[in-house]
Amino acid sequence: MVYERDYAKYYDLFNTGKDYDIEVDFLERVFEKFGKKPLKILDLGCGTGMHDKMLAQRGYQVTGVDLSEEMIGLAKQNVPSGNFNVGDISNFQLEEKYDVIICMFSVLGYLTENKQLEGFFRSCKNHLNEEGLLILDVWNGLGVMRELPSSREKIVEVDGLKIVRTSYPKLDVQKHINHVRFNVRIFENENLVDEKNENHSVRFFFPQELKKYMNDAGFNLLHSCPSFQIDKKLEFDWNMVLICKNS
């Protein structure tokens, strides 16, 4: 999925309520739990670089890859010390290897074809140092099938703007994909000043399914949990984190 031009500028405004601090705290708990002291971190599907901004502030060297040129432009502004590249996370080639690779915010779900997933794990394998960690934040099929997607509206008011996003989901059970049409309207002083429509197709995954892809690529699954709750057992939560090691 590549965001349409000018849509990305609303992305961070709409996600103002997202607690990146908690998510980066979680990542550091993962590092501690599995005995890693990473220096270099690669963020796949980095968006505007908000995770990377906080990681950089905590002393990590960050590199990001995203398919959207506009998102990468914003990431470079948000994290001047980072190294950001336009690229396809299902098939990328960088000149370095990393201690940790992260893929947050359900980005992996945009790889809806099996071949893309195989390419993703193969590319990650080629870019991780020995015993490096791969951390995935994805939709959990166990939760999606228990609590089916429904149309929702979210309203955010920030910097004098009101942003209204309405989602219209359509579930493809056989392919494990949720097709979502997002209508985003931006109001200033109650006047509609901009409107965008985005179509997203996001795949959800079952834990054993991803474990198979990991094993085939030479990774060992170390841990699974609900997103950002490392000590909680994974059950029917909509979002999950899977942590694996380059073996």
Q: Is residue 3 part of a domain?
A: no
The DSSP secondary structure of 140-173, one letter per residue, reads BHHHHHHS----EEEEEEETTEEEEEEEEEEEET
pTM beyond 0.75, yes or no: yes
Both 198 and 107 in one domain: the answer is: no
Same domain, 180 and 151: yes
114 lies in the same domain as 229: yes
- Are 190 and 212 found together in one domain? no
Residues 136 and 239 in one domain: yes
From the list 120, 196, 212, 198, the residue with the least C-alpha distance to 163 is 196
Q: Is residue 101 in a domain?
A: yes
Is residue 173 in a domain?
A: yes
Environment class of 143 (CB within 10 Å of its CB; exposed 0-12, middle 13-18, buried 19+): middle
d(CA 111, CA 39): 28
Is the domain of 60 the same as that of 117?
yes
Assess if residue 74 is contained within a domain: yes
What is the DSSP code (8-state) at residue 109? G
Q: Tell me which residue range forms the domain holding 92.
A: 8-142+204-246
Same domain, 180 and 223: no
Pairing, β 219-226 against β 40-44? unpaired
What single letter denotes the amino acid at residue 65?
V
Kind of pairing, strands 191-203 and 177-188?
Answer: antiparallel
With H, G, I as helix, E, B as strand and everything else as coil, classify residue 135.
Answer: strand
pLDDT (tens digit, 9 = 90+) per residue, 9-49? 677 777 767 899 999 999 999 999 999 999 999 999 999 99
* pLDDT score of 178: 98
> Do 36 and 152 reside in the same domain of the chain?
no
pLDDT in tens, 76-115: 999 999 999 999 999 999 999 999 999 999 999 999 999 9
Residue 1 lies in a domain: no
Residues 58, 26: Cα–Cα separation, whole Å = 13
CATH of the domain at 113: 3.40.50.150
